[in-house]
Structure 1
Amino acid sequence: MAVIGTGKMGADHVRRLHEVISGARVAAVADIEPERAKSLAATIEECTAYTEPAAAMASQEVDAVLVASPGPAHEAALVEALDRGLPVLCEKPMTPDTASSLRILEAEQRLGRRRIQVGFMRRYDVEYAKLKGLLDGGELGRALMLHQRHRNLAMPPGFTDEMLITSSVSHEVDATRWLLDEEIAAVTVHKPRATSLAPDGMNDPQFVLLETVSGALVDVEIFGHCGYGYQVQAEAVCERGTVRIGDEQGLRVSVEGRWGGHVPPDYVERFEDAYDREVQAWVDATRRGEVTGPSAWDGYAASAVCEAGVVSQRQGGRVEVELVERPDLYR
């Protein structure tokens, strides 16, 4: 394995591959910050640090690539991997905009086979998988509405209004497409009054309304500075019942006149098991010569919805999502 990007997510994946996942080893890491890459590589036997993704992928020791660098750097890394025929697990967003996502689709189609899996890890979360199974089973009838909440303790410095959509709501976009098994036709972004905990200039929280092609309505509350922890919830309202996931689990403690439990501080802890399942499934499929998870089409479709969301965020009103015809490779 080569891991591209050794920041928070990349370092966590290196740890995961080294300590948790079977069937793969980290042979190379790459980062534009040489010392960070060298420091991480030093924790793993026979792992080489690089500053250029292309150099890491050129290593004779590398058979597959995990891309965890910032979104704007993904296109170049994906093109390099496709040129070398290497299977790739790419963290979301696949690319930051639809134009670059379309270029990736075209490059993969020229290759004639799927090589890219996009890192929408919620599909591997136990609760999300149970929700998907229940909706697919038909016991509750058609899903009419989907309520989703995505709350963060706080966003890192430099986080923008646009990133609330492209970096955060993108997860709900993919979850919607996957759970309801249809595309999203339009997006409307509403901005309630901002919390005093948000930095100046950020409209936080925001309320996003998604409309699917069949007419189901999906609302997403994105709250980047809720102040108490990381929380993700979803509730499907169906013809014959409702189902909700994301309620806090684990220990419930009563002490000193209070009762309560633990709210995780971030996505790394909340979705640790989902990341483990995702990467293990990808490694297993790669060893079989297959690609089974979210495809480059899923990455493109999410980018298109988020792009429409950013337009609505800036200009107001309902914005329709424009998608190209789905290529046969992704049917």
Structure 2
Amino acid sequence: MSELLGVAVLGAGHMGADHIRRIDQVVSGARVAAVADPETERAKGAVAGIDGVSVHTEVAAALDAPGVGAVLIASPGPAHEEALLAAFARGLPVLCEKPMVPESAGALRVVEAEARLGRRLVQVGFMRRYDAEYGRLKSLLDSGQLGRPLMLHCTHRNVSSPPGFTSAMLVNSSVSHEIDAARWLLGQELTAVTVRRPQPSAHAPQGLLDPQFVLFETSGGALVDVEVFVNSGFGYQVRCEAVCESGTARIGDEHTMVVTRSGGACEEVAQDYLVRFADAYDREVQTWVDATREGRVTGPGAWDGYAASAVAEAGVRALETGGRVAVDLAPRPDLYG
């Protein structure tokens, strides 16, 4: 337990670089042992000043590097399946950023491969489960003090969408966090999806259907609605209100610095997810490191990653067809309870 956990980080882009910083400067009990990224200079820049890190262009080389005992996958989604199966072949525990695998068929292959191993190796990076506000809401709902949850009202807004962002990505990228949060908060599967879209905002890139209104039905008879607006222009906002039989509870109202002057007041609004959920990311990675060093796997697993991909695929079909689309989940292996 005294030896640091050597982590291979796959991907040194925006998310990967932040995780490299986090492991090196924030998290205890771990060190960055290797980094893999096709862009060597980007990888070298991400680990500048960190001793003992080997830099690679290939995933296999990073996984086989000396001192590697676990893997953090922060590469683009389409590369995740191959990386996960490579980690399985080496028996390496994995923290995989969402989506675990974008396509549900690939995600199911990962679930089946892990089930054949007979033990869990994967934790999926749905970091909202580690956010303090989400944790308090989960505890309140589980306590039953407000009675049975009837509805969740969710808001997900970004300042602007990155280049190449598509209408489908509002559902399968942005709303994927709400998909997992709703399943976790309610303890229910999402069974059907409907997507409605108003006239696109004038600030949305040409052809992007933004904003969208996504409605989920659940196995327990609740409804979950999500307003997703990725070109709001003013900030990053994530909110959730639970409406229950005997009361309501809302999280996400910013409690930040308010500056009052010249007859007005100005409240700070976070500009991206790395600011809004900084503490959640820190807590998520620290929990993963602690569990891994003890030989355990906790948090959202491969089944949660698969379920999120399957629901998101149904959501994209609902967006394209304008109709209600049922979610078809494969049987859950015994490994996932």
Q: Confirm or deny a common fold (TM above 0.5).
A: yes
Tell me which residue corresponds to 1:75: 81
Query: How far is the alpha carbon of 1:183 from its aligned partner?
Result: 0.2
Tell me which residue corresponds to 1:118: 124
The within-5 A match list for 1:1-331 is 1-331=7-337
Partners of 1:256 and 1:17 in 2: CA distance: 43
- Bigger drift between 102-111 and 268-277 goes to 102-111
Partners of 1:308 and 1:19 in 2: CA distance: 40
Question: Is the CA contact 1:151–1:225 (under 8 Å) kept in the aligned structure 2?
Answer: yes
Question: SS of the counterpart of 2:175?
Answer: helix
Partners of 1:317 and 1:182 in 2: CA distance: 22
**Structure 1: which amino acid aligns with 2:184?**
W
Query: How far is the alpha carbon of 1:100 from its aligned partner?
Result: 0.1
Partners of 1:212 and 1:62 in 2: CA distance: 41
Query: Cα deviation per residue 1:39-74 (whole Å; 9 max; x = unaligned)?
Result: 223321111110011110011210000000000010
Question: Is the CA contact 1:28–1:41 (under 8 Å) kept in the aligned structure 2?
Answer: no
Partners of 1:248 and 1:39 in 2: CA distance: 33
Question: Is the CA contact 1:28–1:50 (under 8 Å) kept in the aligned structure 2?
Answer: yes
**Structure 2: which amino acid aligns with 1:206?**
Q
Partners of 1:302 and 1:117 in 2: CA distance: 14
**Structure 2: which amino acid aligns with 1:264?**
A
Query: Cα deviation per residue 1:242-285 (whole Å; 9 max; x = unaligned)?
Result: 00000010222211111121101000000000000000000000
Partners of 2:152 and 2:48 in 1: CA distance: 46
Partners of 1:241 and 1:9 in 2: CA distance: 37
Question: SS of the counterpart of 1:303?
Answer: helix
Partners of 2:278 and 2:48 in 1: CA distance: 24
Question: SS of the counterpart of 1:189?
Answer: strand
Query: Cα deviation per residue 1:309-328 (whole Å; 9 max; x = unaligned)?
Result: 00001111100000011111
Query: How far is the alpha carbon of 1:215 from its aligned partner?
Result: 1.1
Question: Is the CA contact 1:41–1:48 (under 8 Å) kept in the aligned structure 2?
Answer: no
Partners of 1:315 and 1:20 in 2: CA distance: 46
Query: How far is the alpha carbon of 1:223 from its aligned partner?
Result: 0.2
Question: Is the CA contact 2:99–2:309 (under 8 Å) kept in the aligned structure 1?
Answer: yes
Q: In percent, how many aligned pairs have the same letter?
A: 64
Partners of 2:117 and 2:49 in 1: CA distance: 35
Runs of 4+ in structure 1 over 3 Å off: none
Partners of 1:43 and 1:180 in 2: CA distance: 44
**Structure 2: which amino acid aligns with 1:223?**
F
**Structure 2: which amino acid aligns with 1:169?**
V
Normalised TM-score (structure 2): 0.97
Query: How far is the alpha carbon of 1:137 from its aligned partner?
Result: 0.2
Partners of 2:112 and 2:10 in 1: CA distance: 22
Partners of 2:62 and 2:302 in 1: CA distance: 22
Q: Structure 2: where are the runs of 5+ without partners?
A: 1-6
Partners of 1:250 and 1:224 in 2: CA distance: 22
Question: SS of the counterpart of 1:185?
Answer: strand
**Structure 2: which amino acid aligns with 1:329?**
L
**Structure 2: which amino acid aligns with 1:199?**
P
